[in-house]
C-alpha cells in the first residue's frame, strides 16, 4: 500500500465520518459466543462503531488500521462513550499483525487474503475469529466494492484451515450487500 491509499482512507474517514456507509453486523454476529472479558483486536477497524460496542460489552479492544484519521475517530467515539479503546497505526500489507495472543479477532469489510494465517496464529487457544466481508455475488447489484475486495463464493472457510467453524453463511443482508459472515474458534 502506498501513501496515497492512506490518504484516500484518511479522506474517507474525515468526510464520511464512518469510513463506510454500511455498518457491519460484526457485533450481532459474534454476540452468541462473546465472553464478558478478554482482548479483542479489530483488524482494519478504522473508526467503526463495532469497536465501541465490543468495549461496551467489557472487552479490552485494540483497533489496528492504516488511517490515523479513522483511529482518531475511534478514540473520540470511545471517549464520548466513556470507554477505552487502544489504537495501532499500521499498514497491514507491510507490517506484522499486532502481537497477540488475542481472545477475539474481528475483521469487517477488509480483504487481505494473506492475513488470515497470521490472524489464526495470533489467536489464543479457544479464541474466536469473526469475519464480515462481501462476496463476488455483490456485483450482481452493486458496482462497488470492486472484485479485488470481494471473496469468492464459499471461499472464506478455505482461508481458515484448522479452525472450528461455528457459523458460516453467505447471503443478501439488510444493508443491501451480499456478505460472507463467519465465526470460528481456534
Ligand atoms: C471499508 S473500511 C472498513 C472499516 C471497518 N472495518 C468497517 O467495517 O466499518 C476499510 C478499512 O481498512 C483500512 N485499511 C485499508 N488498507 C489498509 C492497510 N493496508 N492496512 C491497515 N488498514 C487498512 C482503512 O483505513 C479502513 O478503515
% of residues, the chain, pLDDT over 90: 86
Element (H, E) at 15: helix 3-15
Q: Collapsing DSSP states into helix, strand and coil, what is residue 132?
A: strand
- Cα 25 → chain centroid: 10
Indicate if the pLDDT at residue 1 is higher than 70. Answer: no
Alpha carbon nearest to ligand 1 atom 23, residue: 66
pLDDT at 172 over 70: yes
Q: How confident is the model at residue 5 (pLDDT cuts 50, 70, 90)?
A: confident
Cell (9 digits) for 125: 487457544
By DSSP bridging, strand 85-89 and strand 60-65 are parallel
Question: How far apart (Å, rounded) are the C-alpha atoms in residues 82 and 60?
Answer: 14
For the chain, what is the domain count?
1
Can you give the residue range of the structural domain that contains 118? 3-185
What are 103-121's pLDDT values in tens digits? Answer: 999 999 999 999 999 999 9
The pLDDT of residue 150 = 98
CB of 24 shorter than 6 A to ligand 1: yes
What are the pLDDT digits (tens) for 66-100?
999 999 999 999 999 999 999 999 999 999 999 98
Report yes or no: 59 and 39 within 8 Å, Cβ to Cβ: yes
Q: How far is the CA of 47 from the centre of ligand 1 (A)?
A: 9
The answer on pLDDT for 149 being more than 80 is yes
- Whether the bond between 100 and the residue before it is cis, its omega within 30 degrees of 0, is no
Using pLDDT thresholds of 50, 70 and 90, give the confidence band for residue 2: low
Between the CA of 46 and the centroid of ligand 1 the distance, in Å, is 6
Is any atom of ligand 1 closer than 6 Å to the C-beta of 108? yes
Assess whether pLDDT exceeds 80 at residue 39: yes
Tell me the CATH number at 121: 3.40.50.150
Is the distance from CB of 85 to CB of 110 less than 8 angstroms?
no
Using pLDDT thresholds of 50, 70 and 90, give the confidence band for residue 24.
confident
If you measure from the C-alpha of residue 140 to the centroid of ligand 1, how many angstroms do you get, rounded to a whole number?
23
Helix (H) or strand (E) segment spanning residue 102: strand 102-108
Q: What's the predicted TM-score (pTM) here?
A: 0.95
Amino acid at each position: 500500500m502506498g501513501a496515497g491509499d492512506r490518504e484516500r482512507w484518511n479522506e474517507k474517514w474525515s468526510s464520511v465520518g464512518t469510513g463506510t456507509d454500511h455498518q457491519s453486523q460484526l457485533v450481532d454476529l459474534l454476540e452468541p459466543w462473546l465472553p464478558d472479558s478478554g482482548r479483542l483486536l479489530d483488524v482494519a477497524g478504522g473508526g467503526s462503531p463495532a469497536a465501541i460496542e465490543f468495549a461496551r460489552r467489557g472487552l479490552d479492544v485494540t483497533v489496528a488500521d492504516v488511517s490515523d484519521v479513522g483511529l482518531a475517530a475511534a478514540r473520540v467515539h470511545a471517549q464520548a462513550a466513556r470507554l477505552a479503546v487502544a489504537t495501532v497505526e499500521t499498514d497491514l500489507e507491510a507490517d506484522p499483525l499486532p502481537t497477540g495472543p488475542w481472545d477475539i479477532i474481528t475483521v469487517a469489510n477488509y480483504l487481505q487474503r494473506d492475513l488470515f494465517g497470521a490472524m489464526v496464529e495470533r489467536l489464543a487457544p479457544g479464541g474466536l475469529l469473526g469475519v464480515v466481508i462481501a462476496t463476488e455475488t455483490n456485483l450482481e447489484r452493486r458496482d462497488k466494492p470492486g472484485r479485488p475486495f470481494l471473496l469468492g463464493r464459499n471461499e472464506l472457510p478455505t482461508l481458515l484451515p484448522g479452525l472450528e467453524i461455528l457459523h458460516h453463511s453467505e447471503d443478501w443482508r439488510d444493508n443491501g450487500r451480499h456478505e460472507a459472515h463467519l465465526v470460528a474458534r481456534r
